[in-house]
Amino acid sequence: MQTSTWSSTGSPRYLVGEVLHSKFSFGDYQKTEWHCPIDIVTSIKHSAKAFQILDVKDRRSDSQRIIKVLSRSLAKDSAIAADIYWLRHVRTIDEQHSFLEEEFRDMNHHYLVFHPPKNTLRDVLDSPFISPLPRRHVQEIGLQLINTVHSLHKEYIYDLDLCPENIEILSTATNTEYEYTRPNFFQSRAGLPNLFVMQELMINSRSYFNVRKLNWRQDAMRGSDQYRSPEIVFGWKYKYRSDCFAIGCIIWEMLTGIPLFIACEEGPRYQLDKAYLFEDVLGPYPESFTEKLKRQHSHYFPSPHSNHLIPSGYVSETVQNYLSVSRRPEDILVEDEEALDVVMSLTRLNAKQRPTARDILDYKFFKRRSF
């Protein structure tokens, strides 16, 4: 099924099954030739006002690619050209990003083509032989992730979709390690090499448009459910520290082998479900957080004078079942106060109280390394 690939506002709107067509090469439109359609959309990773991120299949080679489609009416060509230069710029080992395979444009859109990842952190975390990861691997992966995000933030770019699926592991070789599990007993387990080389899979949230002219709340629900910060969930203004919240969730999952938050189904109850989970996992709401939530979602509270959420019977059955057996992070990660301090600092409900990507490196967890 096909439809128009752009809306009346100039936003790209490809659908699954649609062919990317009308391609021009980069240059003078008068001298370029039409390309035959070769890429078919297999899934939509993200849609926003100024761009889409698509999984596509190259019908010539049967290979998968990721394409970011940018509106040329909402994103200036000069800004896109600057990003292309940045993507192709040589980086250090700790500042790797997606490899830009090619780029082209037509009259309405600009297309950035990336290789999909071969192995991701999700593959590692889903392995029963490796997860949860040893502390030293969490430190190494965490450092590389933080440096990658910090390099984005220095360029005034927010990722807003940090999650294990979007972190590529370039080396997947394993070795055998022995853990000291109890006196006079060592247990073997699969391990990973001392050094991970990672690259961020996508640059997918550059602010190509003026948020004062376009309503950013309409694009608020970004990222992956279990790694979304409160400000993204509730449609508040987000910035660099929204990425830091996701880093905290990822570090927790590497340390424990389980996500910090259970998955929530998006729908009419989604924000209420998340409100309950944030309070249950991260502790009582600060007064300023409660007041902000009341202004937008007063129906989440029994009365204007109450600071407690409505009874849990209003949330989904999945969240109700979780709340009946949930445990606080400090009751799970009892043997590593330094790691707990990092996670709880990064996932503070108030975004302004979270450390920046640069500040995280000063925490004891990363100062006293195990490798």
pLDDT one-digit tens code per residue, 86-125? 777 755 555 556 677 888 888 888 888 887 777 788 888 9
Region class of 257: left (phi > 0), else alpha (psi between -120 and 50), else beta: left
In angstroms, rounded to a whole number, what is the distance separating the alpha carbons of residues 166 and 224?
Answer: 10
Q: Which of 35-39, 136-140, 235-239, 317-321 has the lowest mean pLDDT?
A: 35-39
**Chain segment 63-88, per-residue pLDDT in tens:** 888 888 888 888 778 878 877 887 77
Which of 172, 170, 175 shows the shortest CA–CA distance to 191? Answer: 175
Give residue 78's pLDDT.
82
Q: What confidence score (pLDDT) does residue 24 get?
A: 42
- Could you give the CA distance from residue 301 to residue 307 in angstroms, rounded to a whole number? 7
Helix (H) or strand (E) holding 182: strand 175-182
Note the residue count of the chain. 371
Q: DSSP readout, 63-101?
A: EEEEEEEEETTTS-HHHHHHHHHHHTS---GGG----EE
Q: Where is pLDDT greater, at 131 or 291?
A: 291
Q: What is the largest CA-CA distance in the chain?
A: 77
Q: Given 3-state DSSP classes, what are the helix, strand and coil percentages for the chain, each rounded to the nearest 5?
A: 35, 20, 45
Locate tokens 């989604």: which residue?
A: 270
Q: Which residues pair with 182 in a beta bridge?
A: 185
User: CB count, 10 Å around CB of 266?
Assistant: 12
pLDDT at 331 over 80: yes
Rounded CA-CA distance 118/101 in Å is: 15
Cβ neighbors of 343 (< 8 A, separation 6 or more) are: 248, 251, 252, 255, 260, 329, 333
CA atoms within 13 A on the CB side of 297: 21
Which residues does residue 188 pair with via DSSP β-bridges, in sequence order?
Answer: 178
**Amino acid letter, 251:** I
292-312 pLDDT per residue, tens: 999 999 999 999 889 999 998
In the chain, ranges of CATH 3.30.200.20 domains: 38-114
Class of the CATH domain delimited by 119-206+221-367? mainly alpha
> Can you give the pLDDT at residue 332?
92
Distance CA 165, CA 14 (A): 23
CB burial class (10 A; 0-12, 13-18, 19+) of residue 14?
buried
Lowest-pLDDT range, 21-35, 129-143, 286-300?
21-35
Question: Which residue ranges does the chain devote to CATH 1.10.510.10?
Answer: 119-206+221-367
**In this predicted structure, what is the pLDDT of residue 355?**
97
Of 90 and 161, the structure prediction assigns the larger pLDDT to 161
Region 152-169 average pLDDT: 81
Place of tokens 């927010």: 158
Weakest mean pLDDT among 142-146, 168-172, 269-273: 168-172
Considering the domain 38-114, what is its CATH architecture? 2-Layer Sandwich (3.30)
Task: Work out the number of other CB atoms within 10 angstroms of the CB of residue 18.
Answer: 19
Edge-to-edge order in the sheet of strand 51-58? 19-20, 39-47, 51-58, 63-71, 109-114, 100-105
Alpha-carbon gap, residue 278 to 262, rounded angstroms: 11
What is the token pair recorded at 234?
């509730």
Condensed to tens digits (0 to 9), the pLDDT of residues 183-211 reads 544 444 445 554 343 443 332 233 322 22
